[in-house]
Amino acid sequence: MNQENQLQNKIAVIDKEVTWDKTQVIMSKTNAFGIIEYANEVFVDVSGYEDYELMGQPHNIIRHPDMPKVIFKVLWENLKQGRNFHAIVKNLAKSGRYYWVITDFEIAKDENGAIVNYFGRRQSVPQEVVSLHIEPLYKKLLQIEAASGVEFSEKYLIGFLEEKKRSYVEYIKELIFEHEKAQLKFAQYEEQADDEEEEERGFFRRLFNR
């Protein structure tokens, strides 16, 4: 049994979200092999692990079994090339609860250009983006992996993105951008409705002279 399985077997997965302050940034630093060397307080709070339980552990300590392998395959292919990567990831807290994040990486190299550290920053993802777009896609990828392996989940992902004429990163950036645009429109609509209501009240105040 490999370390990943050992770590995951200790945790009973619960279909409940971690309650956390979604304005915060979850941060960690690893060596070139993804071994955790530092985690900020937010990481500790949200994951539910103590610092001493995280340091020296592989980052898959928070890997959720609902995550398709192919997403991490693409993530590592990019990181090893020294490229940033934005992935939407479901993480597993020590309690067995989950938390969804979007990643952002910085890559530190030595004077010879060899990668020495990765810095991962994660922020929360709008629930709607997850439930409408990401969960259905990941579920499919996971099913394909279970039936035919990661080779075919990758082929499916490539086909899915080809149809959308987007890379994975472009696709998720667009999902979030579209969500934010819709939120803004809704806020403007609410503001306009408030203004109209205020105008109406003013009109009656003037009309009845009070």
Ligand X SMILES: Cc1cc2nc3c(=O)[nH]c(=O)nc-3n(C[C@H](O)[C@H](O)[C@H](O)COP(=O)(O)O)c2cc1C
Return residues touching ligand X (CB under 6 A).
4, 28, 30, 34, 59-60, 62-63, 69, 72, 76, 79, 89, 91, 118, 120, 122
CB of 158 to ligand X, least distance (A): 19
Closest to ligand X by CB, 71 or 129: 71
Pick 121 or 179: Cβ nearer ligand X:
121
- Give 6 or 209: the residue with its C-beta nearer to ligand X: 6
**What is the DSSP annotation of 115-183?**
EEEEEEEEEE--HHHIIIIIHHHHHHHHHHHHHH-HHHHHHHHHHHHHHHT--HHHHHHHHHHHHHHHH
Closest separation in Å from C-beta 185 to ligand X: 31
CB of 41 or CB of 178, closer to ligand X: 41
The residue assigned the tokens 């609860």 is: 97
Nearest to residue 135, comparing CAs of 84, 77, 68? 68
The least distance separating ligand X from the CB of residue 204, rounded to whole angstroms, comes to 55
Q: Would you say 59 or 133 has its CB closer to ligand X?
A: 59
**Residue nearest ligand X, Cβ-based:** 120
Q: For the CB of residue 47, give the shortest distance to ligand X in the complex, in Å.
A: 9
Compute the least distance from the CB of residue 139 to ligand X, in Å: 17
* Buried/exposed code over 15-45 (b: 16+ C-beta within 10 A; e: otherwise): eeebebeeebebbbebebebebeebbebbbe
Residue 37: its H or E element: strand 36-39
Helices and strands in the chain, H and E counts: 8, 5
